Chain A
Amino acid sequence: MALLLTGAIQLGMIYALMAMGVYVTFRILNVADLTVEGSFTLGVAVSAVVAAKGHPILALVAAILTGAVAGLVTGILHTKVKIQTILAGILTMTALYTINLAIMGGRANISLFASETVLSLIEKVTKLSVGTVRSIVTIGVTLLVFAFLSAFFKTKFGLKIRATGDNEEMVRASSINASVTKCAGLMLGNACVALSGAMLSQYQKSADVNIGAGMVVVGLASVIIGEAIIGKRSVILGIFSVIVGSVAYQIIIAIALKVNLLPAYGLKLISALIVAISLALPVARAEIKKVRRSKNV
């Protein structure tokens, strides 16, 4: 059970990177960005290919940069070509499927078992056990990104991005170029998502071209669960809640699989149910309140 929990926390930390990216676009920028499904796999693919060449650290940097480019493409499709954000994201995601396959040399799977990863590098340097290194690295990278995002959204530019998601008309009237802030937000979000994919591929020592499917729902589930636990009083608390939500989500899934509540292929259904139920909760609460009041009258 302890092993199960440790694994769930490590995975939760890796997916938290993706969920923080979803938080940036979904909550801060206020757009439903489906690029995530493609940019996550992009991170997986880029990281696997570059790590297989023997550069696991460069692989993470490359994943961040390519993820940002994917976000930029969606941003340009939305702000310059005036395509709705959902459709713009779907277009980029669809295009990325081909691009991801091309990056992986036309193969649907890549194995990294013979290659060096960030984790194995640190194992060698620190001489710590495999499990300890995995925990330290996954938690460390996620906290690093959390610290960066928290500071970033307090900067002048970060504030402009937040205002864009809040009141775009006011942002334009304040002589801020909303196209730039939107693109920047999408780039930042998808860079986080791609880094998450990159970490996962080195953690699992494999890459699969279909791994990104359903990733938006996992991200949303983490955002919603986190907000239910921690709340969303400030941006920093909001971003932090996503990490908690992601870990909680992975623990729920791990336990559900462990007690054979469902077969492994039932995962996506459960994810969708968690999101749908969490979104239904406030509506249900209001309805129940109304029914109770009508009885008292």
Chain B
Amino acid sequence: MSDTILKLCNVTKVFHPNTVNENKAIDNLSFELKKGDFVTVLGSNGSGKSTMFNLIAGSLLADSGQIYLEGENITLVSDYIRAKKIGRIFQDPMKGTSPSLTIEENLSLAYARKSKSKIFAINKADREAFVELLSKLDLGLENRLKTKIGLLSGGQRQAVTLLMSTIADPSLLLLDEHTAALDPNTAVKILDITKELVEYSKTSTMMITHDINAALSIGNRTIMMDAGRIILDISGEERENMTVDALLKLYSKESKKQLANDRMLFSAGGLGEDE
């Protein structure tokens, strides 16, 4: 069991309990993530994907059940303490970086634990490491270390956010539709960077996406959620043989919903949508 990174045991989260608006966002959910796994998470709006991420990251606390990270029970640990081990990237590219700090200052916030510099935020060795890391993104940012992040485009900011999340060496990386707010070309570019960085850092990763093609082609495991439960969990050969069409059929069968009613289908071709 030592190769398990994340374990959710019978986790439940209910919003507005005992009112007419009662909503069981996460329903007795159990889930296990192995070290080095890259899981893509599918599901329609309101199926509980983001709530699950919020529970894992600690932005929300579970009503019942337990959450373990590397064997340690983190069910009631504060979000900023969990953040030492859990990196998270949101849909909004503005959320992950600090706009009036420069690129190198932003990176140094994430790099803090690795930096040899004792007092000052950035030293020469750090700067060299940043140049090397940024050149991997292939966006020309390695020559703009002293540029304020606020002056970059959304795609560039999201790329820097990705870099920041991986250099901090998290045990777990949560990507919450992190390409959904970008234009199609930039989204593809950021997905490529994601693949590369995750492979390079071997970080265990979960990625929410509405792009079924991407969900099947990236990573080594795919889960699908509905009504706060995991209704599909495929990996290995089963996943390799899975097609977008078959997945859609399976989805409609398992969730017993009309295909036409599901907004997810409209975005199956590529672009994600807002949650």
Q: Is the CB of B98 within 8 A of A166?
A: yes
Q: Mark B73-98, 1 if CB is under 8 A from A, else 0.
A: 00000011111100110000011111
Partner of A169, one of B95, B100, B168: B95
Q: Is the CB of A156 within 8 A of B121?
A: yes
With A156-B112, A173-B88, A174-B110 known as contacts, the answer to whether A167 contacts B97 (CB < 8 A) is yes
Q: Is the CB of A177 within 8 A of B80?
A: yes
With A155-B121, A172-B80 known as contacts, the answer to whether A162 contacts B88 (CB < 8 A) is no
* A173 and B98 alpha carbons, distance in the complex (Å): 12
* A166 and B120 alpha carbons, distance in the complex (Å): 19
Q: Is the CB of B105 within 8 A of A159?
A: yes
With A163-B98, A170-B96 known as contacts, the answer to whether A154 contacts B88 (CB < 8 A) is no
Q: Is the CB of B108 within 8 A of A159?
A: yes
**Which positions in B face A, CB cutoff 8 Å?**
57, 79-84, 87-88, 94-101, 105-106, 108-110, 112, 115, 117, 119-122, 164, 168
Contacting B at CB under 8 A, from A171-191, are 171-178
* A154 and B164 alpha carbons, distance in the complex (Å): 19
Partner of A176, one of B80, B100, B108, B120: B80
In the assembled complex, A158 has its CB within 8 A of some CB on chain B? yes
Q: How far, in Å, is A36 (CB) from chain B's closest CB?
A: 22
* B119 contacts across to A, CB distance below 8 A: 155-156
Partner of B84, one of A160, A167, A175: A175
* B105 contacts across to A, CB distance below 8 A: 159, 162
* A167 and B115 alpha carbons, distance in the complex (Å): 22
Q: Is the CB of A155 within 8 A of B120?
A: yes
Most chain B Cβ neighbours within 10 Å, of A169, A174, A176: A174
Q: How far, in Å, is A92 (CB) from chain B's closest CB?
A: 25
Q: Is the CB of B98 within 8 A of A162?
A: yes
Q: How far, in Å, is B217 (CB) from chain A's closest CB?
A: 28
Partner of B96, one of A155, A173, A175, A176: A173
Q: Is the CB of A163 within 8 A of B80?
A: no
* A158 and B117 alpha carbons, distance in the complex (Å): 14
Count of interface residues, chain A, beta-carbon cutoff 8 Å: 20
* A167 and B121 alpha carbons, distance in the complex (Å): 18
**Which positions in A face B, CB cutoff 8 Å?**
154-156, 158-160, 162-163, 166-167, 169-178
* A158 and B101 alpha carbons, distance in the complex (Å): 12
* A169 contacts across to B, CB distance below 8 A: 95
* B80 contacts across to A, CB distance below 8 A: 172-173, 175-178
* A177 contacts across to B, CB distance below 8 A: 80
Q: Is the CB of B79 within 8 A of A162?
A: no
Q: Is the CB of B98 within 8 A of A167?
A: yes
* B112 contacts across to A, CB distance below 8 A: 156
29 example contacts (A-B, Cβ-Cβ < 8 A) are as follows: A154-B120, A155-B120, A155-B121, A156-B112, A156-B115, A156-B117, A156-B119, A159-B101, A159-B109, A160-B109, A162-B100, A162-B105, A163-B98, A166-B98, A166-B100, A166-B101, A170-B95, A171-B98, A172-B83, A173-B80, A173-B83, A173-B87, A173-B88, A173-B95, A173-B96, A174-B164, A175-B80, A175-B83, A178-B80
Closest B residue to A238 by beta carbon equals B100
* A166 contacts across to B, CB distance below 8 A: 98-101
Closest A residue to B105 by beta carbon equals A159
Q: How far, in Å, is A172 (CB) from chain B's closest CB?
A: 5
Closest B residue to A235 by beta carbon equals B100
* A154 and B94 alpha carbons, distance in the complex (Å): 23
Q: Is the CB of B84 within 8 A of A159?
A: no
Q: How far, in Å, is A223 (CB) from chain B's closest CB?
A: 15
Most chain B Cβ neighbours within 10 Å, of A154, A163, A171, A175: A175
* A173 and B92 alpha carbons, distance in the complex (Å): 14
* A172 and B90 alpha carbons, distance in the complex (Å): 13
* A158 and B98 alpha carbons, distance in the complex (Å): 14
* B96 contacts across to A, CB distance below 8 A: 170, 173
Known: A154-B121, A159-B101. 10 other contacts (CB 8 A): A156-B108, A159-B105, A160-B109, A162-B101, A163-B98, A167-B94, A170-B98, A171-B98, A173-B80, A173-B96
Partner of B101, one of A156, A163, A173: A163
Q: How far, in Å, is A98 (CB) from chain B's closest CB?
A: 36
With A154-B120, A158-B121 known as contacts, the answer to whether A174 contacts B109 (CB < 8 A) is yes
* A163 and B119 alpha carbons, distance in the complex (Å): 17
* B110 contacts across to A, CB distance below 8 A: 174
* A163 contacts across to B, CB distance below 8 A: 98, 101, 106, 109
* B121 contacts across to A, CB distance below 8 A: 154-156, 158-159
* A21 and B94 alpha carbons, distance in the complex (Å): 28
Closest B residue to A172 by beta carbon equals B80
* A170 contacts across to B, CB distance below 8 A: 95-98
Q: Is the CB of A167 within 8 A of B109?
A: no
* A158 and B105 alpha carbons, distance in the complex (Å): 11
* A159 and B115 alpha carbons, distance in the complex (Å): 14
* A174 contacts across to B, CB distance below 8 A: 83, 109-110, 164, 168
* B97 contacts across to A, CB distance below 8 A: 167, 170
Q: How far, in Å, is A247 (CB) from chain B's closest CB?
A: 25
Q: Is the CB of B79 within 8 A of A172?
A: yes
Closest B residue to A30 by beta carbon equals B100
Closest A residue to B118 by beta carbon equals A156
